[in-house]
Amino acid sequence: MPFRIVRNDITKMNTEAIVNTANDHVSVGTGCDSAVYKAAGYDELLKYREDNIGFVAEGGAFITPGFKLKAKYIIHAVSPLYMGGDQGEEEKLRSCYRKSLQIAKENGIKSISFPLISTGGFGYPKEEGMRIAVDEINAFLLSNEMDIFLVVFDTKATQLGEKIYPGLEAYIDHNYVKEVREEEYGDAYFSSMRPSEPGYDRYLSNAQMVERRTRRNAEAQKRELSDFSVKSVPPVSAVPKAEKQSFTGSIFKKKKTKDIVLDEALSINESCDEAPFFDFEEQHESKLQERMRHMSDTYSEYLMYLIQERNMENAEVWKRAIVDKKIFSKIKNNVNYHPNKRTALCLCVGAKLNLDESKDLLARAGYALSPCDKTDIIFSYFIENEIYDMIELDIQLEEHGLPCIIS
């Protein structure tokens, strides 16, 4: 797999290049920058930058030798300082990943390790920083081949990575990570923690919010049905004489006589007769015929049809779904192949299906979305609201105490 998240010390990564979070001017910062200079050879690396590089603006990147590191090269990404999010920080951070990957490509580098850029002493929110990293790396891999590692210190981020990427290895122990994290990142790290991480007392998990919203939606639907049942013309005899009412549209009006009640009831029928002409053939015939043509499709055939209909590339789907390429190839090449439910659900997200399409596709593999299953509820919520983000979805499952759906 070309992209993995690992828990390690980036200076010990055995890749052709590592990425360092650098300052814009010639100086050594804290966190990752300090660790890289210390491991590579402080004086040599600093002198090389001073003599050959000089000032580089935020969002830029440059390459140096690795000196004493295992890595042959160090690509230095000039990390943006987080100033609240409205100073162009996101575009600068995305630029760090793009330019670092472009430099690696231009230098023929086949493997590279990234830290979670800017999320330490530079103060960028860690969760958003991870999302940007994954977005940019996956976008690069759509058209390029390279082994890419995202190196994190955080236990929770590593656990998430282990579930997303099979075969993930954690090379160093928890105590080492804790010591290095406190030494190099200090308070800036803890200020960017998710509320559900150890050491942060106040939180309401997003998965609980999903469940709450689902319950509220169900209650709202019940109220709508209840309101609709009221919207029928009540028998005149059932209405108190002083408060007789008839119903027109959605507004109650006080009545004085039975004749007025009958007149308004008749007006409802007359308004129905005046409804605009509905041409089914013009509006829906072609769509219905298209659905009929795929009525007997297997899971594999229907998935390929949906992908083609969206003008999506197969690689785009399995990478967004974070499904192994070999499994996707089995689905594509064997029309009778049925993946497990976890894979099938991930591919619904990867192909950006709506809820009806997802239910239809799952049914062809013998599965259904259960309203009584928490995992299915969360998946349904994400699909229904077009949140096609496997990282965030996996976080919701984990925070709700569920096994992550991603294989």
Mind listing the pLDDT tens digit for each residue in 370-400?
888 888 999 999 999 999 988 888 888 888 8
Report DSSP state, residue 81: P
Q: Is 33 a catalytic residue?
A: yes
Question: Region 277-281: what's the mean pLDDT?
Answer: 54
Question: Region 159-182: what's the mean pLDDT?
Answer: 44
At 22, give phi and psi (nearest 5°). -105, 160
Count of C-beta atoms within a 10 Å radius of residue 28: 15
Q: Which residues pair with 18 in a beta bridge?
A: 74, 113
Q: What is the mean pLDDT of the chain?
A: 76
| pLDDT (0 to 100) of residue 58 | 93
Quick one: pLDDT band at residue 105, thresholds 50, 70, 90? very high
| pLDDT (0 to 100) of residue 227 | 56
At 185, give phi and psi (nearest 5°). -105, -30
Model confidence pLDDT, tens digit, residues 146-158: 999 998 865 555 5
Per-domain boundaries in the chain: 3-191, 206-273, 286-399
Least confident of 85-89, 132-136, 287-291, 308-312: 287-291
- 112: closest CA among 15, 248, 209, 240? 15
Distance CA(36)–CA(71), nearest Å, equals 11
Question: Region 241-267: what's the mean pLDDT?
Answer: 45
CATH number for the domain running over 3-191: 3.40.220.10
Q: Which of 33, 154, 376, 394 is catalytic?
A: 33
| pLDDT (0 to 100) of residue 279 | 57
By the 10 Å C-beta count (0-12 exposed, 13-18 middle, 19+ buried), 355 is classed as: middle
Question: pTM higher than 0.85 for the full model?
Answer: no
How many CA atoms does the CB half-sphere of 175 hold within 13 Å?
Answer: 0
| pLDDT (0 to 100) of residue 233 | 45
